[in-house]
């Protein structure tokens, strides 16, 4: 994983891993675990996408002790799924990109040894398509007005 300094993006906003095995530096983040989880899920409730309850908080973007973005993720067999939520006040400031970068680092690390490991993205925000394309995602069709994009070793029957 990258160090805290490597995840710094816009002024006073940092990404902190929320995983159970991570020694979360509450003093540095200015927020405790419980408050971070509560704020992240509160932010998710305001989002235009539905974060499923099977996903766990993986990382949070924090500014001055407040969660301004969150990454929720899960693995289902060999498919990695993640949702990125950013407070509207922090749109177009690199917060979402850094959370996506963090998710992709988790995918790369955790996919080791998985057969046909892949990410299937349901892109609600069409502005993310160029970013995901630069990261190596490929279009895989449309579903209900949502652009489907994939990354990794997608089995032929899913492609």
Closest by CA position to 39, among listed 23, 63, 19, 7: 63
User: In angstroms, rounded to a whole number, what is the distance separating the alpha carbons of residues 22 and 29?
Assistant: 13
pLDDT at position 20 is 55
Beta-ladder partners of 144: none
Question: What tens digit of pLDDT does each residue of 114-153 get?
Answer: 888 999 888 888 888 998 999 999 999 998 888 889 998 7
Kindly report which listed range (28-32, 88-92, 126-130, 155-159) carries the lowest average pLDDT score: 155-159
Domains in the chain and their CATH numbers? 4-114 (3.40.630.30)
What pLDDT does residue 125 have? 81
């Amino acid at each position: 994983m990258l160090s805290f300094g490597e995840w710094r993006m816009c002024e006073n906003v940092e990404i902190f891993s929320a995983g159970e095995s991570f020694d979360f530096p509450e003093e540095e983040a200015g927020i405790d675990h419980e408050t971070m989880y509560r704020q992240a899920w509160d932010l998710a409730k305001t989002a235009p996408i539905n974060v499923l309850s099977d996903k766990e908080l993986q990382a949070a973007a924090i500014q001055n002790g407040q969660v301004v973005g969150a990454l929720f993720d899960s693995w289902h067999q060999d498919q990695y799924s993640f949702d990125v939520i950013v407070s509207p006040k922090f749109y177009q400031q690199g917060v979402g990109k850094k959370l996506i970068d963090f998710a992709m680092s988790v995918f790369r690390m955790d996919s080791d040894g998985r057969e046909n490991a892949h990410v299937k993205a349901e892109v609600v925000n069409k502005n993310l398509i160029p970013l995901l394309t630069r990261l190596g995602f490929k279009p895989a069709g449309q579903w209900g007005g949502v652009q489907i994009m994939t990354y990794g070793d997608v089995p032929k029957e899913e492609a």
